[in-house]
């Protein structure tokens, strides 16, 4: 619809044929058929053939194809054919892996798809944004992304950030009034909302005028922002490593080629020797193994309530050393129940109220009017803090809906966690009255009078001290306190922030929000895993400290700090102090960024939770921004790299454990691939330098690298997760995966396999037939690498972690062994893979030799690797805390 800004809300509704009930299902279906879905054109997805084609862009594959062509010209067509077939088979495997990884990532994306709240059949419903049609009535509130363009029909102080369209970062104040004029710019269409912008303040209803590519953003952005997942740091460093290794190997291969020619070998033999070395060395499967393991890992995490939005997060999770968590809802249950009130200078239990007392009734009525929650018979809707109030009313037969009907709301300033206040205006007994509720400290700053049963009088210093004492008393019990005040207004006008002063204090309502059952255990687990948990909350310092103590975040030597104290510290001073503070109270979202930065400057990897629209910058600044799936705003979810579907702190700790395990599994896969390759390189180099014949045909190494090695590598990536990963410190994110120790292990294990392979080769040479020797070397190398798969499952011996605990390892081993034995036993295959028939003794000999590296490594692990010693179990930490 064009130029809706010129028409009144009523006219727009009429021309779009929408009633105040919204659209009905039938109409929605009809419109969807005409208009399609509310989505922007996504960049074209690659089809299977394109993905298959991409597999040939790999450096190794190009080298192989080159080798195949050259061998064909040199008259070795058989070799060429085998190389071609293996390369194609590898490309098929690569395509299948790519598609599987894509699938799991796109199902993940669907899980975190944006939603919209609309009116359909007279009822407010939540739907995926893509299902919005023209004519839908859209409800917007702070933190929502606007799903489509629309004309505002009901406005409550709506402010919208339209920077994605206009580049202007200041929020625009919206109105529902008609705007005159032609060619009005987007920034000036103040009665319209636009897709791609987000609500920073207030709320509104708008009728949708345009969707999908017809929206203003659809017109400018013909393609959706490139949604392709970026490579993770690990993938980048492995790609880089692979390229460097490939170039070095190419040089060495060329030298070996020249050396052999010089020794008088045939060109074809020298060439195949050089190709064998290149094939043995290049770790072609590395990067794709990382992708598939990361992708499968995210599926497991999604089942455990953590949805990963950025693949990089899985890797960084294992390095998290600080978790900054909200209190309400994340560490606590977010189920608030009113417990005690303070009114007329008296503290009372919620059970003992007497609503025939005017003061008590006044406080309860104020609490029902100045809140939006509804406590229905079977469902509660709204902010849990306010549900505690409406439930309190219902306990004394005061239904919020009746009270609100009796004294309708004229206007309001919604709650926001920066201001920590909410105000509503009503006409009560012919008097326009503003009711304000919020944090006590903020209300006391603005209150000048107090209302008691003797009437309204000046609020003295003594009164304030008394009220603060009561507040402290409530807070020490972990209760959240809301203060209530009011003010009479002279005229019926829109209120602004300036009106929230000269208040008359009435009383306090305190409520309990118990910690989640899992929080204490999860906090203890964090601590034993070398991760510092920190509570950041808008709540009062004493309330926050009481809860933090209960769950083990705040210990005696730690401190709690308030937002205003933080304001007084310079960044340098904060950095000095930051590791002693474990509770931040009365903070606003801007403080969160400073806390994250201070920890990051000290070299930490920080996870930070957030749910509000103002939390987005801090979520982006954190290494892992975590948003709440239930209470989180769309803006926070969009900024986060992980979304918790259950809003639970314990889920973060579980995700970290998963992150550590996934990283370990990837590391084990890499170790398996690289140590096997090292064995191949060592064997070929040794033969070249010792003037022995070439131990392998290129096909042999291709067979191992591309066929029998891929499956165990994936199986290692699927190794069951171990809870013991949370008993060590977080991994240093800057430390390369190829650490000295890791490379040392790769070389030693590779050497063991190479040595046995060479013994087999020499045994074979004794038969006088080089082909038999080569077959023995190939069979030993292949089998030893299959056995080695079990070595790489863990740093510990497999007898300790359970021989059968990874069924995939056995399946991979079984398939690999079947491949190898089929090739050795069946005549037609023997010809293709260039192996000779072995005698029973030779067969037995290669099995024994292949088993030796496995035995040596397992014995070493069994007797010398003691990872389980020195572990602190989290139960011990819990006991130590209590």
Positions in the binding site for ligand ATP (CB under 6 A): 326-328, 383, 385-386, 415, 417, 420, 422, 437-439, 480, 482, 537-540
List of residues 6+ apart from 552 with CB closer than 8 A:
520, 523, 524, 527, 877, 878, 881
Q: How many other C-beta atoms lie within 10 A of the C-beta of residue 484?
A: 27
Nearest residue to ligand ATP, scored by beta-carbon proximity: 538
Q: Comparing C-alpha atoms, which of 131, 127, 153, 146 is closest to residue 18?
A: 153
CB of 602: closest distance to ligand ATP in angstroms? 23
How far out from the chain centre does Cα 867 lie?
A: 29
Beta carbon nearer to ligand ATP, 277 or 643: 643
CB nearer to ligand ATP: pick between 242 and 438: 438
The minimum distance between CB 482 and ligand ATP, in angstroms, equals 5
Least spacing, CB of residue 546 vs ligand ATP, in Å: 13
Give me 163's structure tokens.
Answer: 């920077």
- Least distance to ligand ATP, CB of residue 388, Å: 10
CB of 1 to ligand ATP, least distance (A): 36
Which two structure tokens, joined as six digits, stand for 385? 């803090």
Examine the residue annotation and report whether 326 is marked as an active-site residue of this protein.
yes
Neighbours of 108 (CB within 10 A): 18
Q: Residue 295: which of 226, 229, 227 has the closest Cα?
A: 229
- Rounded to whole angstroms, what are the CA distances from 241 to 244, 598, 614, 738? 5, 33, 40, 9
Q: Which of 58, 136, 144, 326 is catalytic?
A: 326
Half-sphere exposure of 553 (CA within 13 A, CB side): 29
Beta carbon nearer to ligand ATP, 534 or 706: 534
Enter the DSSP assignment of 149.
E
386 vs 463 by CB, closer to ligand ATP: 386
- For residue 439, the minimal CB distance to ligand ATP (Å) is 4
Nearer to ligand ATP, 141 or 383 (CB): 383
Min CB(618)–ligand ATP separation in Å: 11
Total residues found in the chain within this entry: 882
Tokens of 102: 């894509």
8 A C-beta contact, residue 426 and residue 413 = no
Tell me the C-alpha distance between 844 and 520, whole Å.
57
8 Å CB contact between 793 and 669: no
Nearest to 229 by CA among 823, 815, 641: 641
Between helices 519-528 and 541-551, what is the axis angle to 10°? Answer: 70
| Identity of the residue, 67 or 444, whose beta carbon is nearer to ligand ATP in the bound complex | 444
| CA distances, 19 to each of 122, 134, 355, 556 (Å) | 9, 13, 42, 61
**DSSP state string for 727-751:** GSPPPPTTS-SS-HHHHHHHHHHHH
Closest CB to ligand ATP among 415 and 663?
415
CB of 480 to ligand ATP, least distance (A): 6
d(CA 388, CA 395): 11
State how far Cα 860 lies from the chain centre.
Answer: 38
Q: In this complex, which beta carbon is closest to ligand ATP, that of residue 321 or of residue 332?
A: 332
CA proximity to 68, closest of 280, 60, 682: 60
347 φψ region: left (φ > 0), alpha (ψ -120 to 50), beta (else): beta
- Catalytic residue set: 326
């Amino acid at each position: 619809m064009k130029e809706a800004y010129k028409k009144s809300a009523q006219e727009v509704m009429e021309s779009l044929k929408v009633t105040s009930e919204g659209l009905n299902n039938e109409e929605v279906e009809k419109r969807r058929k005409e208009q399609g879905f509310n989505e922007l054109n996504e960049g074209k997805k690659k089809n299977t053939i394109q993905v298959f084609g991409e597999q040939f862009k790999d450096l190794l594959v190009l080298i192989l194809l080159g080798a195949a062509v050259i061998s064909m010209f040199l008259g070795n067509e058989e070799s060429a054919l085998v190389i071609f077939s293996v390369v194609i088979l590898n490309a098929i495997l690569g395509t299948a892996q790519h598609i599987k990884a894509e699938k799991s990532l796109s199902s993940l994306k669907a899980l975190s798809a944006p939603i919209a709240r609309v009116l359909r059949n007279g009822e407010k419903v939540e739907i995926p944004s893509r299902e919005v049609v023209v004519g839908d009535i859209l409800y917007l509130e702070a933190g929502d992304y606007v799903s489509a363009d629309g004309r505002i029909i009901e406005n409550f102080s709506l402010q919208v950030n339209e920077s994605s369209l206009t580049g202007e970062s200041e929020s625009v104040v919206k109105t529902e009034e008609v705007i005159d004029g032609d060619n009005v710019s987007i920034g000036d269409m103040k009665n319209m909302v636009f897709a791609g912008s987000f609500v920073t303040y207030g709320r509104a209803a708008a009728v949708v005028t345009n969707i999908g590519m017809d929206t203003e953003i659809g017109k400018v952005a013909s393609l959706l922002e490139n949604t392709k997942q970026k490579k993770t740091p690990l993938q980048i460093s492995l790609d880089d490593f692979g390229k460097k290794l490939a170039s070095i190997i190419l040089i060495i291969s060329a030298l070996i080629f020249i050396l052999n020619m010089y020794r008088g070998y045939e060109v074809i033999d020298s060439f195949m020797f050089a190709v064998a070395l290149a094939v043995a060395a290049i770790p072609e499967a590395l990067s794709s193994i990382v992708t598939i393991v990361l992708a499968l890992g995210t599926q497991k995490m999604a089942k455990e309530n953590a949805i990963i939005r950025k693949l990089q997060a899985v890797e960084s999770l294992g390095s998290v050393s600080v978790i900054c968590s909200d209190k309400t809802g994340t560490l606590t249950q977010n189920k608030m129940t009113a417990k005690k009130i303070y009114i007329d200078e008296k503290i009372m239990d919620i059970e003992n109220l007497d609503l025939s007392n005017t003061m008590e009734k006044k406080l309860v009525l104020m609490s029902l009017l100045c809140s939006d929650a509804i406590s229905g018979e079977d469902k509660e809707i709204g902010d849990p803090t306010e549900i505690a109030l409406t439930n309190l009313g219902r306990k004394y037969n005061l239904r919020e809906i009746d009270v609100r009907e009796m004294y309708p709301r004229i206007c309001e300033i919604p709650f926001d966690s920066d201001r920590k206040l909410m105000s509503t205006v009503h006409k009560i007994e012919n008097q326009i009255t503003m009711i304000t509720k919020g944090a006590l400290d903020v209300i006391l700053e603005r209150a000048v009078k107090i209302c008691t049963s003797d009437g309204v009088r000046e609020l003295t210093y003594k009164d304030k001290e008394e009220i603060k004492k009561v507040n402290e008393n409530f807070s020490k019990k972990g209760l959240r306190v809301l203060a209530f005040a009011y003010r009479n207004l002279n005229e019926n006008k829109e209120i602004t922030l300036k009106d929230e002063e000269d208040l008359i204090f009435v009383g306090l309502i305190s409520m309990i929000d118990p910690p989640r059952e899992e929080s204490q255990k999860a906090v203890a687990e964090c601590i034993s895993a070398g991760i510092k948990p920190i509570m950041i909350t808008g709540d009062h310092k004493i309330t926050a400290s009481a809860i933090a103590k209960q769950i083990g975040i705040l210990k005696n030597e730690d401190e709690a700090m308030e937002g205003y104290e933080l304001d007084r510290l310079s960044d340098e001073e904060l950095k000095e102090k930051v590791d002693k503070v474990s509770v931040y109270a009365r903070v606003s979202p801007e403080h969160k960024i400073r806390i994250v930065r201070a920890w990051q400057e000290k070299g930490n990897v920080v996870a930070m939770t957030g749910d509000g629209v103002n939390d987005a910058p801090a979520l982006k600044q954190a290494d892992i921004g975590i948003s709440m799936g239930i209470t989180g705003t769309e803006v926070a979810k969009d900024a986060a790299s992980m979304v918790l579907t259950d809003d639970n702190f314990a889920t973060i700790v579980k995700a970290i454990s998963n992150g550590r395990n996934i990283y370990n599994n990837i590391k084990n896969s890499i170790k398996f691939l690289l140590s096997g390759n090292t064995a191949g390189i060592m064997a070929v180099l040794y033969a070249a330098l010792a003037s022995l014949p070439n131990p392998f045909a290129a096909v042999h190494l291709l067979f191992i690298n591309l066929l029998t090695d891929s499956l165990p590598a994936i199986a290692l990536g699927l190794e069951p997760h171990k809870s013991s990963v949370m008993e060590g410190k977080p991994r240093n994110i800057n430390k390369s995966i190829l650490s000295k120790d890791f490379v040392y292990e790769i070389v030693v294990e590779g050497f063991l396999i190479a040595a046995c392979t060479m013994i087999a080769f020499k045994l074979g040479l004794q038969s006088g037939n080089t082909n038999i020797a080569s077959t023995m070397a190939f069979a030993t190398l292949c089998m030893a690498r299959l056995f080695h798969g079990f070595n790489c499952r863990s740093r510990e011996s497999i007898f300790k972690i359970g021989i059968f605990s990874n069924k995939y390892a056995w399946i991979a081993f079984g398939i690999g062994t079947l491949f190898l034995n089929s090739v050795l036993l069946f005549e037609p295959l023997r010809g293709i893979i260039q192996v000779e028939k072995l005698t029973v003794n030779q067969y037995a000999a290669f099995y024994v030799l292949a088993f030796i590296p496995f035995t040596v490594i397992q014995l070493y692990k069994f007797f010398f690797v003691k990872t389980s010693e020195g572990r602190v179990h989290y139960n011990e930490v819990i006991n130590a805390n209590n």
